[in-house]
Structure 1
Amino acid sequence: MDYVRLGRTEAMVSVAGLGCGGHSRLGMAGSASSAEASRIVAKALDLGVTFLDTARSYGTEEAVSLGIRGHDRGKLFISTKSWTGTDLSNRNPDPLPVTDFVANLETSLRALGTDYVDLWHLHGVAPFQLEHVYNELLPEMHRQRDLGKIRFIGITEAFREDLRHEVLQQALPTGLFDVAMVGFNMINPGARRRLFPLAIEHDVGTLIMFAVRRALNSRENAAEAVGRLIELGEVDPALVDPADPLGFLAAHPAIKSQVEAAYRFCRYEPGAHVVLTGTGKEAHLEENVQSILAPPLPAETSERLARIFGQATSISGE
Structure 2
Amino acid sequence: MEKTVLGRTGLSVTVAGLGCGGHSRLGLFSQGKEHACGIIRCAYENGVNFFDTATAYGTQPAVGQALRDVPRDRYVLSTKFPYRKDGAMQPSAALESNLDASLKELRTDCIDIYHLHGVFPGDYIAARDRFYPELVKMREKGKIRFFGITEIFGGDTTHQMLKLALNDDLWDVMMVGYNLLNPSAAKTVLPMMQAKKVGALCMFAVRSALSDPQMLKLDIQKMIANGQVDTSLVKEDHTLDFLLQDGTAKSIMEAAYRFCRHTNGIDVTLTGTSSAEHLKKNLRSISELPLPVPVLQKLAQMFGNVDCVSGQQDFPKLNTIITK
Question: TM-score band, normalised by the shorter chain?
Answer: over 0.9
Match of 1:317 in 2: 311
State the partner residue of 1:134: 128
Equivalent residues in 2 for 1:72-87 (5 A)? Answer: 72-87=71-86
Hey, what does 1:176 align to over in structure 2? 170
Correspondence list, 1:85-104, <5 A: 85-87=84-86, 92=87, 94-104=88-98
**Kept in 2: contact 1:226–1:245 (CA 8 A):** no
Tell me, which stretches of 5 or more residues in structure 1 are unaligned?
none
Farther off after superposition, 64-73 or 221-230 = 221-230
Q: Is 1:288 equivalent to 2:282 in the alignment?
A: yes
What is the CA distance between 1:33 and its match in structure 2?
1.6
Offset, 1:19: 0.2
Aligned residues of 2:254 and 2:285 also touching (Cα < 8 A):
yes
What's the CA shift for 1:192? Answer: 0.8
Specify the alignment match of 2:197 in structure 1: 203
**What is the aligned-residue RMSD (CA, Å)?**
1.2
Q: Is the 8 A contact 1:84 1:129 kept in 2?
A: no
Alignment correspondent of 2:223? 229
Corresponding residue for residue 9 of structure 2: 9
Shift in CA distance, 134/243, structure 1 to aligned 2, threshold 3 Å: closer
Distance in 1 between residues matched to 2:3 and 2:83, nearest whole Å:
31
Contact 2:184 2:305 in 1 (8 A): yes
More moved, 133-142 vs 53-62: 133-142
Match of 1:123 among 112, 117, 120: 117
Pair 1:41 & 2:40 matched: yes
Q: Which residue of 1 is the match for residue 65 of structure 2?
A: 66
Q: Give the secondary structure class of the aligned counterpart of 1:153.
A: strand
1:241 is displaced (CA, Å) by 4.0
Q: Deviations over 1:5-35 (max 9, x none)?
A: 1000011101000000000000124x22222
- How far, CA to CA, are the matches of 1:195 and 1:128 in structure 2? 18
Which one-letter code corresponds to 1:36 in the other structure?
H
Partner of 2:318: none
Could you tell me whether the CA contact under 8 Å between 1:124 and 1:158 is conserved in 2?
A: yes
Instruction: Measure, in 2, the Cα distance between the counterparts of 1:301 and 1:220.
Output: 23
Pairing 1:163–2:157 present: yes
Q: What secondary structure, in the 3-state scheme, does the structure 2 residue paired with 1:242 have?
A: coil
CA distance in 1 between partners of 2:164 and 2:294 (Å): 34
Counterpart contact for 1:8–1:178, Cα < 8 Å = yes
8 Å contact from structure 1 (residues 223, 245) kept in 2: no
Q: Write the distance in 1 (CA, Å) between the matches of 2:218 and 2:56.
A: 30
Quick one: which of 214, 231, 238 aligns to 2:208?
Answer: 214
* Partner Cα separation in structure 2 for residue 37 and residue 86 of structure 1: 26
User: What amino acid is the match of 1:240?
Assistant: V
CA drift of 1:258 comes to 0.5
- The equivalent of 2:146 in structure 1 is 152
**Counterpart amino acid of 2:38?**
R
State the 1:72 CA deviation: 1.3
Between the aligned partners of 1:253 and 1:287, the Cα distance in structure 2 is: 17
Instruction: Give 1:133 deviation, angstroms.
Output: 2.4
Does the CA-based 8 Å contact 1:16-1:51 persist in structure 2? yes
Identity of aligned residues (%): 43
Further displaced range: 224-233 or 147-156: 224-233
Partner of 2:261: 267
CA distance in 1, matches of 2:204, 2:144: 26
The code of the aligned residue for 2:80 comes to K
Q: Which amino acid aligns with 1:42?
A: R
Corresponding residue number in structure 1 for 2:315? none
Question: Secondary structure of 2:35's partner?
Answer: helix
Contact 2:124 2:164 in 1 (8 A): no
Residues 220 and 235 of structure 2 are in contact (CA less than 8 Å); yes or no, is this contact kept in structure 1? no
Using the alignment, how far apart are the partners of 2:246 and 2:20 within structure 1?
Answer: 32
Pair 107,220 (structure 1): closer, same or farther in 2 beyond 3 Å: same
Q: CA deviation at 1:274?
A: 0.2
Stretch deviating more after TM superposition (121-130 or 152-161):
121-130
Gaps spanning 5+ residues in structure 2: where?
A: 313-324
Are 1:52 and 2:51 an aligned pair?
A: yes
DSSP 3-state at the match of 1:180: strand
Instruction: Tell me how far apart the structure 2 counterparts of residues 130 and 220 of structure 1 sit (CA, whole Å).
Output: 34
After superposing on structure 2, the runs of 4+ consecutive aligned residues of structure 1 that deviate more than 4 Å are: none
